[in-house]
Chains A and B, each alone.
Chain A
Amino acid sequence: MTALPPPQKKKLGLVIDLDTCVGCHACAVACKEWNDGGQFGPLPDSDPYGADPVGVWFNRVHTYEVAAPERNTADVRPGSFEATASNVVHFPRSCLHCETPDCVTVCPTGASYKRAEDGIVLVDEDKCIGCQLCAWACPYGAREISEQRGTMQKCTLCVDRIYNETLEEADRQPACVMACPTRARHFGDLGDPDSAISQLVAQRNGYDLMPEFGYRPVNKYLPPRPRRDGSHVRQSAAREETVDPVQLPPLLRWLDRALSR
Chain B
Amino acid sequence: MKPALSVIFFTVLAGAGYGLWCLLGAALALGAYPPGRGNVLVPLGIGFLFVSVGLLSSTLHLGRPARAWRAFSQWDSSWLSREGLASLATYLPMLAVAGLARGDNLFVPTRVAGATLCACALVTLSCTACIYTSLKPIPAWRDRRVLPLYLLFGLWSGGLWLWAYLAFNPGLLALPFALGLLALALLGGGLKLGYWKALDAAPAGSAGHATGLERFGQVRAFEGPTTEGNYLTREMAFVLARKHARSLRRIALILLILLPMILIVLALIWPVTQIFLASTAAIACVLGLFVERWLFFAEARHVVAAYFPQGEASVRPG
Contact = CB atoms under 8 A, between A and B. Distances in A.
Contacts of B67: 109, 127-129
B77 A106 contact: yes
Contact of A210 (B61, B77, B209): B209
A201 interface: no
Closest 9 CB pairs of A and B: A130-B63, A150-B63, A60-B225, A141-B304, A139-B137, A108-B71, A2-B74, A108-B80, A108-B81
Interface stretch (A48-56, A169-177, A190-198): A48-56
Nearest to A128: B64
Interface stretch (A33-41, A86-94, A230-238, A244-252): A86-94
A52 B231 CA distance: 12
B63 A213 contact: no
Contacts of B234: 54
A138 interface: yes
B302 interface: yes
Nearest to A85: B217
A64 B206 CA distance: 12
Interface in B112-158: 131, 134-138
A239 to B, nearest CB: 29
B230 A150 contact: no
Chain B interface residue bracket vs A: 35 or more
B62 to A, nearest CB: 5
Nearest to B224: A62
30 contacts: A28-B225, A60-B230, A62-B225, A64-B219, A89-B219, A93-B307, A104-B77, A106-B78, A106-B79, A106-B80, A106-B135, A107-B80, A108-B73, A109-B73, A110-B70, A127-B67, A131-B62, A131-B63, A135-B231, A135-B235, A136-B1, A136-B137, A141-B232, A144-B231, A145-B63, A145-B235, A150-B62, A209-B210, A209-B211, A214-B136
B68 interface: yes
A67 B214 CA distance: 10
B231 A131 contact: no
Contacts of A136: 1, 135, 137-138, 236, 302
Nearest to B220: A65
A212 B79 CA distance: 22
Given A61-B225, A137-B137, 18 more contacts: A2-B81, A3-B77, A54-B226, A56-B231, A62-B307, A64-B207, A64-B213, A65-B220, A89-B213, A107-B80, A108-B78, A108-B81, A131-B62, A137-B134, A139-B302, A146-B63, A213-B136, A223-B213
